[in-house]
Structure 1
């Protein structure tokens, strides 16, 4: 009886974890570049020791494209990623190409400084920025009706091992600690990655699928709670019978 209650409680806890993830997916349905997350619950029975194994995975397929016509919005094509520095100074990775300029004249994404390709990117106060398909950043200035274009830096664009990625609460992706490329200095700029300016990649969350999963998990959780209640009632009846017989 106790083992049955334990199994139902374990299953209920796992369902709550799934609900949290699905709820987070739905909450970020409008977040630029967001990648939906799922978990698999694998049931194993080895040497009569029942346990659950959870495995996380991410849907890294591209979301839809939004045409913004804004020169600091970029869509990273294919399996390319933009690189930023988090609050601790570590390199992190994102598909969110909504760039801004902070008070220090640095390019940022969600207040994280954008990493350049072997350079620090400082944006001059005068002129307009143009980001080329290879990540090169040009400053366009008009001097006496003459258009002058100067390169001020280049975005660092990388390919990542998708099986070694982990998503953290700050909205950024990182390499897992056990990854062979966990040393952030080993991630090199990739010259074959291309950008499209004036566009942003939207979230790839499938709202219908996530809503179905949300309802299904809620029903399964309710079933596990009913099973626990039934086990408790049966245990009480058994104790009453034992007391009567004594």
Structure 2
């Protein structure tokens, strides 16, 4: 009896964890570049009892497919193509990666994404005052000056664009992606080198790829399963009370 209650409790906790993930997906449905997250359980092959919920290993994964493209026509809005990532430096100074290409210029004339400074490719990027900025498809940042009969472009710096396998990434609470400690790229230095093959497109933003319908269906399904586990616990508790009453009567 106690074993059944314990199993139902473990299953209910796992469902609550799933609900938190889905709720976070739905909350970020309008967040630029957000990638929906899911968790699933796999059986630990070292455990012989295949029906023991507490012996399942929980893993998480992200849907890294592209979201809908929004044509903003803003020079500092970027769509990072294919499996490329923009590199930023978080508030702790650690290198992180994002698909959010909504760049801004802060008071120090630095390019930022959600207040995280954008990392340059072997350079520091500082935007001069009173210029028009254009970012080329290879990530080179230029200033544009219009003279009488021609346009002059001057290189300011270049963005650090990287390619990282999905299995080497982990997302933290700040929404940024980081290299896992056991990554296959560089096990000793937690950074990635710039890739010349990554391309960006300015004037466009990649919206969140959260599928609202699928997440809502999953949330409803989890809620029903959670209710079923609560009923199982309640039934086991009632059966335990009935058993105690019978024992007392026989005594």
Q: Place the TM-score, normalised by the shorter chain, in its bin.
A: over 0.9
Equivalent residue for 2:198? 193
Equivalent residue for 1:68? 72
Distance in 2 (alpha carbons) for counterparts of 1:12 and 1:186: 38
Distance in 1 (alpha carbons) for counterparts of 2:72 and 2:82: 19
> Normalising to structure 1: TM-score of the pair?
0.96
Cα offset for 1:48? 3.8
Equivalent residue for 1:203? 208
Equivalent residue for 2:217? 212
Cα offset for 1:151? 0.0
> Normalising to structure 2: TM-score of the pair?
0.94
Structure 1 residue matching 2:38: 3-state secondary structure = strand
Alpha-carbon contact 2:169-2:179 (below 8 Å) kept: yes
Per-residue CA distance 1:137-193 (angstroms, 9 max, x = gap)? 101123556532110000000001211211111110011122233545651100011
After TM superposition, where is structure 1 displaced by more than 6 Å over at least 4 residues in a row?
Answer: none
Q: 1:222 to 1:76 in 2, by over 3 A?
A: same
Structure 1 portions without partners, runs of 5+ = none
The number of equivalent residue pairs is 246
Equivalent residue for 2:84? 80
Task: Give runs of aligned pairs for residues 21-100 of structure 1, distance below 5 A.
Answer: 21-43=21-43, 46-48=47-49, 50=52, 51-100=55-104
Computed over aligned residues only, the root mean square deviation of the Cα atoms, in angstroms, reads 1.5
Q: 1:10 to 1:34 in 2, by over 3 A?
A: same
* Stretch moving more, 106-115 or 34-43: 34-43
Alpha-carbon contact 1:44-1:52 (below 8 Å) kept: yes
